[in-house]
């Protein structure tokens, strides 16, 4: 590969610890190659990693700091000597651990007869879990034990062709892990891509789901989880019913963060509290509160390509926090409103979200700025 350069330009927004990528199909880089970037101004070598998106490939790295109006130039180094893996995947006993710099960040639970896959624990700033332990761990002092199906971070929906794939009550439907389509890790990110079957309570297949979880090598003060979900109507038409019992990206925050225990719900339009955020459309929603005396928060970013963007939020003072664009009748308080959606046989129905874990509330955690980093990344040019 001859010398190739990448220029990265920030326009009106500054960026801090934001994943950035550039097209790599014409660079002559093989998937097995170790790659890095060299900052032409400072000579500093920056870890990079190849990422596949369908038939295309990209080179990915972390923009640790890029001020508004600033331009940076990099040389691409193929076959570069890079540090040991910074994000590692460890698969043991029906779960895949994501370890960043050797420390557990989260685990993807997929085996052992669970009703549906989930992420737990989710370690935030200060090294403490930011999602509720119940029901994975029971009888934790001070912790609530309602809604046993609220498993930390998960994907579920309560009306798929009439099947309840939200609760864990008798007669509920299930999401069954079939296989891993990808496991990759390196100095920039770790990623799994899974194939899941959504089945009814008799085991009849309703549809397939491809779920991709990408976790980046970022400081503890600002972890990122990218969640991409593609539903496939492989068994005929699929109807997502109008119900508030569901969320394509769902979180149950730590009990000490609950809105009715001093926590704060905030959305992109300045709404605060459940009363101002529940059922309202917003580009992002944030839930912050105290964990062991430290204020921390989790934001979910909606992607502009998602169905009914900006999504509406099923977010409650008792700690539930989901992106649910379907429950229009509940949000409107009108049973004549129909928020259901039919995915025709053979078609795909994609969603993408970013979860951002941060210090402080939404303002202190610069959630609005981080959202712009998600939907309006720096301008990248390969020369």
Phi-psi region of 28 (alpha: psi -120 to 50; beta: other; left: phi over 0): left
| Chain centroid to CA 157 | 17
**Predicted local distance difference test score (pLDDT) of residue 358:** 97
Q: Which two tokens stand for residue 272?
A: 């605060």
Percent of the chain whose predicted confidence (pLDDT) is above 70: 97
Per-residue pLDDT band at 25 (split at 50, 70, 90): confident
More confident position, 17 or 4: 17
Query: Is the per-residue pLDDT at 53 higher than 80?
Result: yes
222, 212 contact by CB (below 8 A) = no
**What are the structural domains of the chain?**
5-83 (2.60.40.1180), 87-375 (2.70.98)
**Average pLDDT value for residue range 165-194:** 96
What's the pLDDT score for residue 4?
A: 83
For residue 212, the model assigns a pLDDT of: 98
Q: State the Cα–Cα distance between residues 284 and 170, nearest whole angstrom.
A: 34
The pLDDT of 341-355, averaged and rounded, is: 98
Q: Interior CA angle at 125 toward 120 and 130, to 5°? A: 35
Task: Give the model's pLDDT for residue 122.
Answer: 98
For the chain, what percent of residues have pLDDT higher than 90? Answer: 88
Say yes or no to pLDDT of 188 above 60: yes
| pLDDT at position 83 | 59
- Report the DSSP beta bridge partners of residue 81: none
**For 43-52, how does the pLDDT look when each residue is reduced to its tens digit (9 = 90+)?**
999 999 998 8
Residue found by looking up tokens 């779960």 in the block = 95
Whether the CB-CB separation of 211 and 226 falls below 8 Å is answered with no
Q: Please compute Rg for the chain using Cα positions.
A: 21
Averaged pLDDT for residues 15-36: 84
Is the pLDDT at 1 greater than 90? The verdict is no
**pLDDT beyond 70 at 166:** yes
Query: Residue 313: which pLDDT band, with cuts at 50, 70 and 90?
Result: very high
pLDDT tens readout for residues 193-248: 999 999 999 999 999 999 999 999 999 899 999 999 999 999 999 999 999 999 99
């Amino acid at each position: 590969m001859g010398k190739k350069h990448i220029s990265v330009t920030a326009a009106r927004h500054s960026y801090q610890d934001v994943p950035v990528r550039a097209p790599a199909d014409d660079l002559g880089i093989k998937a097995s190659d170790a790659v890095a970037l060299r900052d032409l101004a400072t000579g500093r070598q920056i870890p990079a990693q190849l990422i596949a998106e369908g038939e295309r490939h990209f080179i990915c790295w972390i923009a640790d700091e890029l001020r508004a109006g600033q331009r940076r130039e990099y040389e691409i180094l193929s076959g570069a000597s890079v540090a040991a893996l910074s994000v590692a995947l460890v698969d043991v006993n029906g779960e895949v651990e994501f370890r960043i710099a050797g420390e557990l960040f989260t685990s993807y639970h997929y085996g052992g007869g669970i009703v549906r896959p989930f992420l737990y624990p989710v370690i935030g700033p200060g090294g403490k879990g930011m999602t509720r332990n119940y029901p994975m761990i029971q009888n934790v002092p001070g912790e609530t034990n309602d809604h046993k199906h609220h498993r930390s971070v998960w994907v579920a929906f309560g009306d798929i062709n009439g099947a309840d794939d939200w609760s864990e009550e008798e007669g509920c439907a299930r999401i069954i892990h079939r296989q891993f389509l990808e496991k990759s890790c390196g100095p920039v990110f770790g990623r799994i891509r899974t194939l899941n079957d959504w089945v009814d309570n008799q085991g009849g297949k309703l549809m397939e789901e491809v779920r991709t979880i990408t976790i980046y090598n970022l400081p503890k003060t600002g972890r990122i989880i990218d969640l991409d979900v593609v539903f496939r109507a492989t068994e005929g038409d699929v109807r997502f019913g109008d119900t508030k019992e569901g969320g394509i990206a769902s979180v149950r925050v730590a009990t000490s963060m609950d809105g009715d225990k001093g926590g704060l719900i905030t959305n992109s339009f300045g709404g605060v509290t459940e009363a101002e955020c529940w059922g309202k459309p917003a580009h992002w929603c944030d839930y912050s509160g105290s964990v062991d005396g430290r204020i921390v928060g989790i934001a979910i970013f909606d992607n502009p390509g998602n169905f009914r963007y900006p999504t509406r939020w099923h977010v409650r003072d008792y700690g539930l926090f989901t992106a649910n664009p379907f429950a229009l009748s509940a949000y409107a308080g009108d049973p004549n409103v129909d928020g259901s959606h039919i995915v025709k046989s053979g078609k795909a129905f994609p969603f993408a979200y970013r979860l951002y874990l941060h210090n402080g509330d939404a303002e202190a955690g610069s959630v609005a700025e981080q959202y712009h980093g998600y939907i309006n990344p720096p301008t990248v040019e390969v020369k």
